[in-house]
Structure 1
């Protein structure tokens, strides 16, 4: 399952990554919506959105989506239309440890939401988005166009152009 990257693969252009991210947000919203509806059904409409188990279920749903996508072909739904693939630095499809590390790094800024009671909800929401934006901006200066979370996880996003006939 750990096939290597063909020599025709290129570092993913930044604009393709941004468009894939926009597509990915739609998939994530759908996953969260379905998971939320299941939780509401299980609690007969008495769901406490601050319950620890509810947040854990949402996190597990997202983890399952990304980890399965990245370890089975190296593509999530948002990456497919843009011909983007996640690979390890060695060029292989990510293993579970690589994918789990990348996911953990990507969601780490969400822990900053814990400052909401002190900083206010708007400020607390702005911090994770600022961290993610800075992480993505490193792709503009890295030789292989890797975002900070890719550098830390030992992965990179490649673009596989359509082969010319």
Structure 2
């Protein structure tokens, strides 16, 4: 009996991954609205500057918890599951906490450079910020074109990769 060869793993297309991210944004919006409602209840909707800054930190923590829990638990969020995409770390059955945290922080590369440019140049207009974000996100997406496995930069740096899951077999009609 010969040893089995590893099954080749397909990388989802860039378009499929970006489409899943757009769907993810809608789902994350709902999660964050619930988080805001909870925060407003706890703080009695305080308008104190400290409470406003606390809300930003709370949303960052909720976002991190959402993504990291999903990645560690099953390897995908609801949007990733819908688009049959899973995040894995080679040699690990489940994504380790440290790896999930690193991936979450590194994924801010989609937004942080553009936001830093806006801050550095004093750009506050919605259109200017939107253009900066669009250009920054497009640049980050292009990093996959220069990767031998077509992985985004944050996955390469975190030691993770996105894989395409096969379609589930259809159940026969009775």
Superposition deviation, residue 90 in structure 1: 4.2
**What's the counterpart of residue 30 of structure 2?**
30
Matches within 5 A, 1:10-159: 10-47=10-47, 51-90=52-91, 92-107=93-108, 109-110=111-112, 112=116, 115=119, 118-122=122-126, 123-124=128-129, 126-159=131-164
Change in 2 beyond 3 A, CA 1:48/1:11: farther
Question: CA contact under 8 A between 1:112 and 1:127: conserved in structure 2?
Answer: no
Question: CA contact under 8 A between 2:118 and 2:132: conserved in structure 1?
Answer: no
| TM-score, structure 1 normalization | 0.81
RMSD between aligned alpha carbons? 2.8
- Distance in 2 separating the partners of 1:117 and 1:18: 28
Bigger radius of gyration among the two: 2
Question: CA contact under 8 A between 2:151 and 2:161: conserved in structure 1?
Answer: yes
Q: Which runs of 5+ in 2 are unaligned?
A: 1-5
Q: How many residues align?
A: 160
| TM-score, structure 2 normalization | 0.77
Q: Which runs of 5+ in 1 are unaligned?
A: 1-5
The 10-residue stretch of structure 1 (119-128 or 108-117) with the greater mean CA deviation from structure 2: 108-117
Change in 2 beyond 3 A, CA 1:130/1:53: same
Which fold has the larger relative contact order, with Cα–Cα distance below 8 Å and residues 6 or more apart in sequence? 1
